[in-house]
Each structure stands twice: as C-alpha cells, then as structure tokens.
Structure 1
Amino acid sequence: MNSKRREVLRVTAVLSLMAATGLITEAQAAEWNKTAFDGKSVADVIKALGGSGTEKSSAITFNAPDIAENGAVVPVAVTSTIPDTEQIAILVEKNPNTLAADFVIPAGTEPFVSTRVKMGQTSVVYAAVKAGGKWYVASKEIKVTLGGCGG
C-alpha cells in the first residue's frame, strides 16, 4: 500500500516539475488514451489506438528474456526498421490491462524504446509498431516464474 502511494506521489511530482519548467503543458499531461489502456485484448487495444488490424513484420526487433525470474520487472526493448515509424506499443496478452506501454516516436528520431513491464503470468508479449498509418507486430512468449501483477 505504501509503495503505491509513493509511486503516485513520485509520478505527480515529476509531472508537476515538467509542467512548471515548460517541458509539458497540463493538457499534455492529462491527455492519454484511457480506452487503449483499459483494453482487455490485443485487438481492442489496436482498435483504440486507431488501427483496424495488424500485420506481422520481421522489420521489428523485439528483445525480451525467454524466462522472467520476476514478473514485476521484465525488461523489453523494441527497435523498428519500418520507414516512418510513428508509435511503438508493448502489449501483454494475459495482463488485466493488455497495453503495458505506449510511446510516440517523433519524426527524425531512432525508433527504439527500452522499458520494463509488469507481468502477472506467462504470456505472449507483443511489440506493435505504427508506421504509415498501419500497425505491424512482432511477438514472443515470456515465461514468468514469480508473479508481478497481483501474484
């Protein structure tokens, strides 16, 4: 309970500092896709993100461990070589909320993200990349030995 409170306070402090220094506006801080983060399946999330379907792509490099010893901190990295990559999302199929992370890739930057996600159980994890208005995916099953989402 205390760690959740600390996390909320930490995030609030960071967002407040960013708003105070002009890095983000309050409108940007409040602007997030609640429907996408509430999605319960990969198809629901892609639809909420504005897609109508996905296509598998070998132009997406998805690095993640085969076995995660602790589901609370699973490292994942995604690189896209698809031209005009606009967005990268990480989806965990069996999590209570499928969308684990969503990144907007500014034009002219390298389409690479690295983060840690929380997984409650063994699941297929998807790296979804939006480029040219279409969504492309790569996936990998990650086995979790110690639960992270309520486990």
Structure 2
Amino acid sequence: MPGNRRKFLKQACIISISSLSGTGSLLTSHDAYAEWLDDHFAPGKIDKTIERLYSGAKLVETDKIELKVPRIAENGAVVPVSVSSSLENVQSITLLADKNPVPLVATFILTPDMTPFISARIKMAETSQVIAIIQTGDTLYMAQQQVKVTIGGCGG
C-alpha cells in the first residue's frame, strides 16, 4: 500500500510541475505590464522633470483643479492625495513632489469617458510642494500645495 501512495504522489507532483512550467509563459502576458519610461523617472530637479515630460509647455495655475493633501503629514511614507477637476477633455493627471529624489510620482492617462479624478498614497522624502498637472489638449493646468512631513519618508 505505501508504494502505491508514494508512486501516486510522485506522479501527481511531476504532472503539476510540468503543467505549470508549460503555462508559465501564458500567465505573464507582456501586454499586462505598464510602460516604464526611464527618462521620466530620472532623479533630478523638478524643473528638468517637467521639461522632460512636457517639452517646455507653459503651466497655467487654475482653481478648477481640486488638490486634496494634508497640510501636515505625520508619516512621509504614506501621504494621501486626491485630485479632481471640472476641466473639460482631461487627458492625463500627473503628480509631482518637488523635493523627492525622483520628483515624478505618477502619471494617470484618462480616456474621454472617465471622470477626471484620481486618488493615491504617495511617498515624500521631506516637506515640499505637491503639484498636480492636468493636460487637456495642448494646455497644461496646475495646482500645488505645501505638505509638511514630520517623520519618515523616502529619505529614511
């Protein structure tokens, strides 16, 4: 009896491993991965990051962007941010933190059917400006707010 059980378990393991190794490439579709743009996420100053992202386009400050961030973040490792807008034809929303080692936090590409709203938790190295940039056609709008970080953050 023990020989049959061991033989059964051995064959079951072999079948499981061979079926998983055969379907491994099917489970990791390259279409599911987000595009990583190395030059956009390069360390440096915020001015250079904005130049790389938008090629010198002018940013217009507006009150049609509602940027919600806490004025004081007790932990820089998790700072809640939400951005909404009443602007028409929003194509993307970009979040930046000017004193982070890598100022670009995230860019969200929106379709015309989507409501211009995003919410995220970002990591901040130190007290700095959080900037939201919204692209509508050829125009770039922005809103910013100072956030004081008391402890932690991506600097340690």
TM-score class, shorter-chain normalisation, is: 0.7 to 0.9
Contact 1:127 1:138 in 2 (8 A): yes
Match of 2:46 in 1: 42
Root-mean-square deviation (Å): 2.1
Aligned residue identity for 2:106 = A
Contact 1:128 1:135 in 2 (8 A): yes
Q: Distance in 2 between matches of 1:146 and 1:42?
A: 22
Count of aligned positions: 131
Deviation string 1:21-44 (CA, Å, 9 cap, x unpaired) is 9xxx62562523221111523332
Aligned residue identity for 2:53 = L
Match of 1:32 in 2: 36
Contact 1:124 1:141 in 2 (8 A): yes
Larger CA Rg, structure 1 vs 2: 2
Please, what TM-score do these two structures have when normalized by structure 1? Answer: 0.78
Q: Residues 37, 82 of structure 1: CA spacing in aligned structure 2 closer, same or farther, 3 A cutoff?
A: same
Which runs of 5 or more structure 1 residues have no equivalent in the other structure? 1-18
Q: Residues 100, 48 of structure 1: CA spacing in aligned structure 2 closer, same or farther, 3 A cutoff?
A: same
Which runs of 5 or more structure 2 residues have no equivalent in the other structure? 1-25
Alpha-carbon shift at residue 78 of structure 1 (Å):
0.3
Identity over aligned pairs, percent: 38
Q: Residues 79, 97 of structure 1: CA spacing in aligned structure 2 closer, same or farther, 3 A cutoff?
A: same
Over 3 Å off, 4+ runs:
none
Q: Secondary structure at the match of 1:84?
A: coil
Match of 2:112 in 1: 107
